[in-house]
Amino acid sequence: MLSPGDPAPDFDLQGTADGGAGAYRLSAATNRAPAVVAFVPGDDPESRTVLSALADADWASVSDAVAVFGVLPAGIDDCRSLAAALSLPYPLLADTHGVATQFGVRKQGGSIQRAAFVVDQRCRVQVATVFDDTDGTMPAIDTVLRGLAEL
């Protein structure tokens, strides 16, 4: 898994955009503001909890601007369906290019670890955190919020 100080791999992925789809590039987003990139393994209860917690986070309390991306190892249709079901205010990106592997969150056996990264405007990782199994409770995103506040 990438660590603070590591360069974040740039990506171009399709993602949800106002009920449709659009293209997203990490370096383009971080040119304007820091970014939070959160990986989830699929449409399961724990992943839904993480995605919902990111949607409910008070980003404005720690940063004037932030780009938030959820990344799912699925096609764009599955991303669109999940984003609509959860009413996500941020794009859910279809990882069809192995971005999870580049960030080091693919486990042996191929599943994806629930994790989030704060990437600064130089496209460097400032925070890397793993979300343990949430058991239906709100995942701790304090590490992500603190990392943004320190930028």
Q: Taking a C-beta distance cutoff of 8 angstroms, is the pair 26, 37 a contact? A: yes
SS3 138: coil
Q: Which long-range contacts (CB under 8 A, 24 or more apart) does 42-45 make?
A: 42/72, 42/73, 42/74, 42/112, 43/72, 43/74, 43/78, 43/81, 43/82, 45/136
What value does the mean pLDDT of the chain take?
93
pLDDT at 99 over 90: yes
Q: What is the pLDDT of residue 96?
A: 92
39 sits in which H/E element: strand 35-39
Q: Which fold has domain 12-149?
A: Glutaredoxin (3.40.30)
pLDDT at 53 over 80: yes
Q: Kindly report whether the global pTM for this prediction surpasses the value 0.85.
A: yes
Dmax (CA) of the chain: 39
CA–CA distance, 45 with 12 (Å, rounded to integer)? 27
* Residue 134 binned pLDDT confidence (cut-offs 50, 70, 90): low
Domain locations in the chain as residue ranges:
12-149
Closest to 71 in 3D by CA, of 126, 139, 136, 9? 9
Residue with tokens 């979300």: 131
Q: Report, as an integer, the average pLDDT of 17-23.
A: 89
Q: Could you tell me how many helices (H) and strands (E) the chain has, helices first?
A: 5, 7
Q: Which backbone phi and psi does 142 adopt, to 5 degrees? A: -55, -40
Q: Taking a C-beta distance cutoff of 8 angstroms, is the pair 128, 119 a contact? A: no
Q: Report, as an integer, the average pLDDT of 60-65.
A: 92
